Amino acid sequence: MNVRRYFAQSAREALRKLKEDLGADAVVLSNRSVEGGVEILALPADEVPGLPAAAEARTPRREEPARATEFTPWQPPAAAGDDDFTVSLSSARPRAAAVARPSETQPRGAQERRPQAPRQEVRATEAREAAAPAAAASQTDARLMQELAAIKGLIEQQLAGFAWGDMARAAPAKTLLLTEMLDAGFSAQLARRLVDGMGEAAGIAEARKWLRSALDRSLLTVDSDADIIDRGGVFALVGPTGVGKTTTTAKLAARCVVRHGADKLALLTTDGYRIGAHEQLRIYGRILGVPVYPVRDGAQLRQTLAELRNKHMVLIDTVGMSQRDRMVAEQASMLINAGDIRRLLLLNATSRGDTLDDVVRAYRGPDLAGVIITKVDEAVSLAPALDVLIRHELDLFYIANGQRVPEDLHLPNRPYLLHRAMKELPDDSPHHLNRDEAGLLLAAAHGAGAPAPGARLG
């Protein structure tokens, strides 16, 4: 398209130039203030398919018979008329403003004595008149850009669908692996990245074996040699509401008491919002013989930690809050400023992958040691949780699969986790994908900004 640029000191002048050059049916693409004036980008009407003006330009006009007599009404000078700086965005011509002649019956002296508007009011009126067409053009531009973006998305999805069909014919093993990963709950981004890294597989069994090995290499877990119970330190358990922070704190405390004794452990709680939150942790503390200290703010937290510096391990149960709550940042700042505290983020295994992404983005930081996955016993598949861990390169410390203290807390078992993640859905499941549906899902993900099937990810 032949996009024209018009620059002037004011919108009125730029629009006048535009109309003189392209006519009243020109399409304004954008108008913005730049250094020294106003810049307008526009297209001739006959270069935009679908506009009535373009259709008229392509349709030959029949000559009309000449009129015997034409009456031309009086028009104001060009410099004073609004028609000079009005651009039509449709086939309808702008209607000239009706300008009344001075009354011939009115005495000339009365016309001369008519009060004139102050200069500032005249300038303000001219500015409003000049800005009105630009504002209308800007709204039309926004609608046009939205329509073009929608058309672009549809085209990209169609192209991605074609690419999926080509890939299914050329590399059936890769296509099957993509389908199985999407069916299990992995993100399209990770599935595409892993499958693209696979060479030419001899068969489906070999391809599945390669994929499981790739997932195993990508998953970061903490083994028994790096168990935080043996290392000790100060750890704060953080995460959204209802993820199981208090119960998990009690499970870690029980493991520590068994190995190192109750006198080597202290429990802190910052959860003063929930009714009975302190009491729940105190009950666990009384059972384990461990003191529980409530803290209200950063200053009290620093003072309490200083008094407990000789303890082997200090566990802090924090208040649960939505990842979209601004208090998440305040909580992280309080913990960072209180001393050498490492945060453990609890992720709910039953949550969707995009929700877990949202949680990780809100809670991650330099003091985030790793992750504990909770409610594993309630999740159908662990693929969304493992997908988030792999893409964000987070260490997995523990998995929790029940309410029993301390039995239902375990170090990560990689073969078990990968088996749960790649477990196939029954064929009669309403959430089971076939190959065509997987292709549609990838095409939709591509329309939302993901790379096309077969594209390499950096």
Q: What angle is formed at CA 25 by the lines to CA 20 and CA 31, rounded to 5 degrees?
A: 75
Rounded to whole angstroms, the Cα distance separating 41 from 134 reads 12
Considering Cα of 400, then 401, then 406, then 411, what sign does the dihedral take? Answer: negative
- The pLDDT of residue 322 is 79
Q: Does residue 219 contact residue 386 with C-beta atoms inside 8 Å?
A: yes
- 64-67: long-range pairs with CB below 8 Å, 24+: none
Q: What is the mean pLDDT of residues 373-389?
A: 93
The amino acid sitting at 294 is P
- The pLDDT of residue 428 is 62
Q: Does residue 177 contact residue 197 with C-beta atoms inside 8 Å?
A: no
How confident is residue 345, by pLDDT bands cut at 50, 70 and 90? Answer: very high
Q: What is the mean pLDDT of residues 376-402?
A: 93
Rounded to whole angstroms, the Cα distance separating 163 from 174 reads 13
Rounded to whole angstroms, the Cα distance separating 314 from 267 reads 6
Q: Torsions phi, psi of 232, nearest 5?
A: 80, 180
Sheet holding 409-410, edge to edge: 292-294, 265-269, 313-317, 233-238, 342-348, 368-374, 396-400, 409-410
Q: Does residue 334 contact residue 374 with C-beta atoms inside 8 Å?
A: no
421-450 pLDDT, tens digit each: 988 766 666 565 655 555 555 555 554 444
124-161 pLDDT, tens digit each: 666 666 666 667 777 788 888 877 777 766 565 555 55
User: Which class does domain 222-411 fall in?
Assistant: alpha beta
- The pLDDT of residue 232 is 92
396-414 pLDDT, tens digit each: 999 999 888 888 999 999 9
Domain regions of the chain by residue span:
1-58+83-90, 146-214+426-458, 222-411
Alpha carbon distances (Å) from 55 to 43, 58, 144, 151: 15, 5, 18, 21
Other beta carbons within 10 Å of 61: 7
Q: Does residue 345 contact residue 297 with C-beta atoms inside 8 Å?
A: no
Other beta carbons within 10 Å of 445: 21
40-71 pLDDT, tens digit each: 888 887 776 655 554 454 455 544 444 444 44
Q: 76, 77, 80, 83: which is closest to 16 by C-alpha?
A: 83
Task: Give the mean pLDDT of the chain.
Answer: 76
- The pLDDT of residue 358 is 93
- The pLDDT of residue 355 is 93
Q: Does residue 265 contact residue 249 with C-beta atoms inside 8 Å?
A: no
